[in-house]
Amino acid sequence: MSKLFQVDYRTPIGVLEIVGTDEAVHSILFAEQGVVVHSLTEETPTVLKECYVQMDEYFKGEQREFSFPSISVGTEFQKNVWNALTTIPYGETGSYKDIAISIGNEKAIRAVGSANGKNKLSIVVPCHRIIGSDGKLTGYAGGLWRKEWLLAHEKGITRLPI
């Protein structure tokens, strides 16, 4: 197995832990601690540096899609859900039902929600863009306040850093 590396990226809404190998990013998750523990170094793989730069551009409002290599580990169903999430355009939202229909299984709404919660590539696989069919915010592993901030950010609504 390839060696795993980590770099932490400070965002306006907390620290993202970016984990990966020389080949691909494996996870991007909000950290429990609010401090940067792993900074960029000369040993940081290029792919993690690319992710870091693209996250910086995303939070500046300059990046809408991501182009660094990433790996999602999950079941075929989960991967189908995650792929469907990436079709929701920047600044827009969808529902669990929309995703279930898009993957050809309109009765799998709860399973879609479960797969959404297992997404390890926050922001890149935009699970924050999923809202309830009634238009209300629903769960987000990073916290609803972060989800609200991310959605406002993508809609171009100026928000002060928290």
- What residues make up the domain containing 42? 5-59
In a domain, 54, yes or no: yes
**Same structural domain for residues 20 and 88?**
no
Name the domain count of the chain.
Answer: 2
Of residues 1 and 45, more confidently modeled: 45
> Which residues are catalytic, by number?
127
Give every CB contact of residue 89 below 8 A, 6+ residues apart in sequence: none
**pLDDT of 41:** 93
Give every CB contact of residue 97 below 8 A, 6+ residues apart in sequence: 106, 109, 133
Picking from 89, 87, 139, the residue whose alpha carbon sits closest to that of residue 116 is 139
What CATH number did the domain enclosing 131 receive?
1.10.10.10
**pLDDT of 33:** 80
**pLDDT of 160:** 53
Q: What is the pTM of this model?
A: 0.92
Give every CB contact of residue 72 below 8 A, 6+ residues apart in sequence: 78, 79, 82, 119, 120, 121, 125
Average pLDDT over residues 93-115: 96
**pLDDT of 161:** 54
**pLDDT of 26:** 98
